[in-house]
């Protein structure tokens, strides 16, 4: 029976380590091209460091195009042409979205939370 318990612990440890590696973030799609670099707005997205969803990456999309996968406490900045965009992200079963409007040379900072809350900072 002891061998069975230690085997379970070893398997559980391996699963946790693999889940941690799978949640690493990074760019997964191309950034939208800029047509007016001198007028570009900056969108800064930061994933909250809460323990909710700690095991899963947050997938971020802009206008239905995959951009980034974010782990806990990760962020990225993106330069965009001024205009209206649909920002979406998903984590687990939560699919979150918000329309955003960017003005020329504006910086918009958003903190993304696993329960679909987006806070302007």
Residue 83 belongs to domain spanning = 25-120
CA angle 82, 85, 92 (to 5 degrees): 140
Q: How confident is the model at residue 53 (pLDDT cuts 50, 70, 90)?
A: confident
Domain for residue 6, yes or no?
no
pTM of this structure: 0.76
How many independent structural domains does the chain possess?
A: 1
Task: Find the helix or strand (DSSP H, E) in which 79 lies.
Answer: strand 75-80
Residue 103, sorted as left (phi over 0), alpha (psi -120 to 50) or beta, turns out to be: beta
CATH value at residue 110:
2.60.40.1120
How does pLDDT run across 64-82, given as a tens digit for each residue? 999 999 999 999 999 999 9
Domain for residue 3, yes or no?
no
Domain for residue 93, yes or no?
yes
Domain for residue 7, yes or no?
no
pLDDT of residue 67: 94
CA angle 57, 60, 63 (to 5 degrees): 160
- Token duo for residue 12: 């559980």
Phi, psi angles (nearest 5°) of residue 40: -60, 140
- Token duo for residue 52: 């909710």
């Amino acid at each position: 029976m002891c061998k069975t318990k230690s085997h379970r612990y070893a398997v559980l440890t391996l699963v946790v380590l693999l889940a941690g590696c799978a949640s690493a973030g990074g760019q997964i799609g191309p950034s939208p091209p800029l047509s007016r670099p001198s007028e570009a707005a900056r969108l800064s997205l930061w994933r909250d460091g809460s323990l909710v969803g700690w095991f899963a990456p947050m997938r971020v999309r802009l206008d239905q195009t995959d951009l980034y996968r974010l782990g806990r406490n990760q962020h990225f900045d993106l330069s965009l042409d001024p205009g209206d965009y649909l920002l979406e992200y998903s984590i687990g079963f939560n699919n979150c979205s918000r329309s955003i409007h960017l003005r020329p040379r504006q910086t918009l900072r958003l903190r993304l939370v696993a329960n679909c809350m987006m806070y302007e900072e």
